[in-house]
């Protein structure tokens, strides 16, 4: 019970660190929430024109998910494997929720794609790699970040089923996929209208 509480609270607190907001403020690029889509993620940080800050945001938002998973994994490494898998999934889901609903930003957080990748690469790397390859392929073909993210998260439960036998990972990918889709409601509307901006697009493209 102590470990479960620690995984949930610790995961949430780690996940709630808004790297996009911190990086743009400290990097002198203003507040990322007032530009582009208003999102705090790496895709929107890139719209400030600062690739370095976007990279920091991507690594930070992904890294915090991976760290939450690794701590949970280490804390349970001497126990039964089933319990470890459940605790890892709990820590991952908590970090993901922390990113989406951070208490520090009045619960208005990010869309979850980077943190989804971070937790998944740490918790079940073949699933994370397959989802990452999906993101890259779609981004390469269409140059639209949201479309790449949505495709990757939608396929993740399938990859989890194919590569990983553990139910906790399958539930985790399903849970995160549903929330990522909800968080992308505006993006999905723009995609359907053909108005979603492209990665590296000029001023005209900045939504």
DSSP secondary structure of 90-157: HHHHHHHHHHHS-GGGTT----SHHHHHHHHHHH-HHHHHHHHHHHHHHHHHH--HHHHHHHHHHHHH
Look at the chain and count its residues: 207
Choose between 94 and 187: whose C-beta lies nearer to ligand G3P: 187
Residue that the structure tokens 């849970």 belong to: 175
Which of the ranges 24-32, 81-89, 141-149, 163-171 carries the binding residues for ligand G3P, by CB under 6 A?
141-149
Choose between 164 and 183: whose C-beta lies nearer to ligand G3P: 183
Choose between 5 and 49: whose C-beta lies nearer to ligand G3P: 49
Per-residue tokens: 174? 């399903």
Which of the ranges 24-32, 33-41, 129-137, 153-161 carries the binding residues for ligand G3P, by CB under 6 A?
33-41
Residue that the structure tokens 């639209």 belong to: 144
Least distance to ligand G3P, CB of residue 148, Å: 7
Using CB under 6 A, pick the residue from 16, 48, 145, 173 that binds ligand G3P.
Answer: 145
Backbone angles phi, psi at 200, to 5 degrees: 75, 15
Choose between 2 and 185: whose C-beta lies nearer to ligand G3P: 185
Q: Interface with ligand G3P includes 43 (CB under 6 A)?
A: yes
């Amino acid at each position: 019970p102590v470990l479960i509480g620690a995984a949930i609270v610790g995961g949430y607190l780690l996940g709630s660190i808004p790297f996009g907001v911190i990086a743009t403020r400290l990097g002198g690029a203003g507040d990322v929430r007032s530009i582009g889509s208003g999102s705090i993620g790496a895709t929107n940080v890139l719209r400030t024109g600062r690739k370095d800050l976007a990279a920091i945001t991507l690594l930070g938002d992904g890294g915090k998910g991976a760290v939450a998973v690794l701590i949970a994994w280490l804390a349970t490494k001497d126990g039964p494997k089933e319990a470890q898998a459940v605790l890892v999934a709990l820590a991952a889901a908590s970090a993901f929720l922390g990113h989406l609903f951070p208490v520090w930003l009045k619960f208005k957080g990010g869309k979850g794609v980077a943190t989804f990748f971070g937790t998944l690469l740490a918790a079940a790397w073949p699933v994370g790699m397959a989802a990452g390859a999906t993101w890259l392929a779609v981004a390469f073909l269409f140059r639209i970040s949201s479309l790449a993210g949505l495709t990757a998260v939608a396929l993740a439960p399938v990859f989890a089923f194919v590569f990983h036998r553990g139910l906790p990972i399958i539930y985790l990918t399903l849970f995160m996929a549903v929330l990522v889709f909800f968080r992308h409601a505006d993006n999905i509307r723009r995609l359907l209208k053909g108005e979603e901006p492209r990665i590296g697009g000029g001023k005209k493209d900045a939504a």
